[in-house]
């Protein structure tokens, strides 16, 4: 019997070990599903490019298995990468921009190299918010000039969030067993939550960022997006580790652990968990699902402690300092990255990108590039003013999180990751209901989101936030919650909520 497209990586591995399926068969099934749902059917637009060597790579993993060599839990498992992560398979790394359409570097980012060393099969590149949502404050999450708009499989007229929109939608829709997203502030956790999957933003410095199109050396990180917490733990175990080419990862080898071994359904027993309220704007459906999640945490043995948020003035100060810092960091990082691209890439600086967009109608069809233009005026990262602003942002964010953890003597904080997916609005852009992403993003601390339920069929995520290097504990907490609730649901690809029978009945005249 063929595997369900929604089978976990762990289930796929067990089936391969039992000889019921091969890696080649898995890849063929995923490619067929992508053809059925991404290029036809609901047309999710979650995929930008497919690895032309994926089937050959899968066959190689099957040969190794037949010879008695299995590299680990990802051996032969298909994985997608966000299209800002370089691979050596001949596909371009575009960040969604036509300016990078010829960016074929023929080099593997350490994230890709580590996955391949673990036996994973790179299936292809996932669509994303262009430039990881750093081109305009009025952007549409999940849209890129190359890939178009990613659609949320739980409501095709709803946002898939960003910037790792394609990674989240693809995993929700059963295109692959796992995906890699990247986050600067919310770009893994938001699309994971709104597409109803697991997403982990690791501690900054646990995973290499080399050969990934950058925003900020201070906040960027790659992380797993999967259908189960165990799969996220397996992927993190593969991609975590020190890289001499990324100085931020110097502690990674010493800090990483066996994340799969740390999982257990009893992980919440007797653990004090801090409850944060008011992070997401009040919403009766979201609030009700959150209360159910808290009750599930208590049933799983957690001791819940109400923890007070920092005052809004402090949060605003951190956000403003982050915005100023990211501008300087992006200008420096993108200029350095573009200088390393092949000669076929004509845009070699941020100023070149701005000029390219102005001359290319397909880039500016829906929104402008005000963030790019403001960033071009940012100071250099050697500027004392920038250094003070970044230092302030990091210090305040860490003090705020450390203070909340200490306030309740808690191991982690929980809060909704956001509200339900909002309607895509090409006129006004994104309309988020708020999120808890900024504090852990600026602090560089880990942030895990796990499906906690749904509002009218739209998924909602529960965030677990902890101190630096606490991934093993957060994953264990998330796993225990997942096993207590089994809240994730497969999508049904409705064109709108009005197409759901219960809503259609309510809309009909009496």
Please give the full DSSP string across 48-68, using - where no structure is assigned.
EEE-TTHHHHHHHHHHHHHTT
Per-residue pLDDT tens over the stretch 142-175: 999 999 999 999 999 999 999 999 999 999 999 9
Is 241 inside a domain boundary? yes
Q: Residue 442 is part of a domain; what is its CATH number?
A: 3.90.1300.10
- The active-site residue, picked from 82, 125, 201, 256, is 82
Tokens of 214: 């950058």
Its domain, for residue 219, covers 9-308+397-507
1 pLDDT higher than 70: no
Q: Pick the catalytic residue: 187, 242, 283, 463? A: 187
Q: Looking at per-residue confidence, does 183 or 504 come out higher? A: 183
The contacts of residue 21 (CB under 8 Å, 6+ apart) are 2, 3, 12, 15
Query: How far from the centroid of its chain's Cα atoms is residue 375's Cα?
Result: 24
Bridge partner list, 453: 460
Tell me the C-alpha distance between 483 and 3, whole Å: 21
pLDDT reported for residue 282: 83
Task: Give the whole-angstrom CA distance, residue 499 versus residue 33.
Answer: 23
H or E segment to which residue 209 belongs: none
Residue 323 lies in a domain: no
In a domain, 503, yes or no: yes
- Establish if 342 belongs to a structural domain: no
Domain assignment present for 374: no
pLDDT value of position 293: 98
Average pLDDT along the chain: 97
Please tell me what DSSP assigns to residue 172.
H
> 392 lies in a domain?
no
Clarify whether 187 is annotated catalytic. Answer: yes
Q: Counting beta carbons within 10 angstroms of the beta carbon of residue 9, is it exposed (0 to 12), middle (13 to 18) or buried (19 or more)?
A: buried
Taking the CA atoms of 156, 171, 439 and 462 in sequence, report the sign of the dihedral they define. Answer: positive
What's the confidence (pLDDT) of residue 510?
81
Q: How far is CA 160 from the centre of its chain?
A: 11
Considering the candidates 136, 163, 164, 325, report the single residue annotated as catalytic. 163
Peptide bond preceding 298: is omega within 30 degrees of 0, i.e. cis?
Answer: no
CB neighbour list of residue 27: distance below 8 Å, 6 or more residues apart: 54, 55, 58, 78, 121, 123
As for how many domains the chain has, the answer is: 1
**What is the pLDDT at residue 508?**
86
pTM of the model: 0.98
The sign one gets for the Cα dihedral 325, 330, 335, 336 is positive
- Residue 191 counted as domain residue: yes
Element of type H or E holding 88: none
**Is position 163 annotated as part of the catalytic site?**
yes
pLDDT in tens, 242-297: 999 999 999 999 999 999 999 999 999 999 999 999 999 988 999 999 999 999 99
pLDDT in tens, 325-362: 999 999 999 999 999 999 999 999 999 999 999 999 99
> Is the CB of residue 57 less than 8 Å from the CB of residue 51?
yes
Per-residue pLDDT, 239: 99
367 located within any domain: no
Give phi and psi for 183, each to the nearest 5.
-140, 135
pLDDT band at 506 (very low <50, low <70, confident <90, very high): confident
User: What is the DSSP pairing of strand 178-183 with strand 78-82?
Assistant: parallel
Q: Which of 10, 463, 488, 472 is nearest to 263 (CA)?
A: 472
């Amino acid at each position: 019997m063929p595997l369900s497209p929604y089978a976990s990586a762990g289930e796929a591995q067990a089936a391969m070990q039992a000889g019921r399926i091969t890696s080649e068969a898995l890849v063929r099934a995923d490619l067929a599903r992508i053809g059925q749902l991404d290029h036809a059917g609901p047309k999710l637009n979650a995929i930008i490019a497919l690895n032309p060597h994926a089937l050959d790579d899968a066959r190689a993993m099957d040969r190794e298995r037949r010879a008695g060599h299995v590299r680990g839990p990802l051996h032969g498992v298909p994985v997608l990468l966000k299209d800002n992560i370089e691979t050596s398979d001949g596909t371009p790394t575009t960040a969604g921009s036509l300016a990078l359409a010829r960016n074929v570097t023929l080099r593997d980012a350490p994230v890709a190299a580590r996955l391949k060393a673990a036996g994973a099969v790179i299936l292809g590149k996932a669509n994303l918010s262009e430039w990881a949502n750093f081109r305009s404050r009025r952007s549409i999450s999940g849209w890129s000039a190359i890939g178009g708009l990613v659609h949320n499989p739980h409501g095709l007229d709803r946002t898939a969030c960003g910037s790792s929109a394609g990674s989240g939608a693809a995993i929700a829709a059963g295109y692959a067993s796992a995906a890699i997203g990247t986050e600067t502030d919310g770009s893994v956790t938001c699309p994971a939550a709104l597409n109803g999957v697991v997403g982990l933003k690791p501690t900054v410095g646990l995973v290499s960022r080399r050969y990934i199109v950058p925003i900020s050396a201070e906040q960027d990180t790659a992380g797993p997006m999967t259908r189960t917490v165990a799969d996220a733990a397996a992927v993190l175990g593969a991609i975590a580790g020190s890289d001499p080419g990324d100085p931020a990862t110097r502690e990674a080898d010493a800090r990483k652990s066996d994340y799969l071994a740390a999982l257990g359904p009893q992980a919440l027993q007797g653990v004090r968990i801090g409850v944060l309220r008011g992070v997401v704007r009040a919403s009766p459906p979201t609030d009700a699902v959150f209360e159910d999640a808290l009750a599930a945490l208590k049933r799983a043995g957690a001791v819940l402690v109400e923890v007070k948020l920092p005052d809004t003035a402090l949060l605003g100060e951190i956000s403003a300092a982050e915005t100023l810092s990211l501008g300087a960091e992006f200008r420096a990082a993108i200029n350095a990255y573009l200088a390393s691209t092949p000669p076929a890439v004509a845009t070699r600086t941020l100023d070149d990108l701005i000029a390219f967009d102005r001359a290319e109608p397909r880039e500016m069809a829906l929104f402008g590039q005000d963030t790019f233009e403001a960033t071009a005026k940012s100071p250099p990262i050697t500027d004392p003013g920038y250094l003070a602003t970044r230092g302030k942002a990091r210090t305040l964010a860490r003090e705020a999180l450390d203070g909340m953890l200490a306030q309740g003597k808690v191991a982690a904080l929980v809060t909704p990751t956001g509200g339900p997916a909002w309607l895509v609005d090409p006129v006004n852009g994104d309309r988020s209901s708020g999120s808890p992403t900024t504090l852990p993003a600026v602090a560089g601390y880990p942030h895990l989101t796990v499906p906690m339920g749904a509002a009218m069929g739209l998924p909602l995520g529960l965030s677990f936030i902890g101190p630096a290097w606490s991934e093993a504990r957060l994953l264990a907490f998330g796993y225990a919650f997942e096993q207590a609730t089994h809240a994730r649901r497969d999508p049904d690809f409705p064109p709108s909520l009005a197409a759901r029978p219960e809503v259609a009945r309510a809309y009909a005249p009496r």
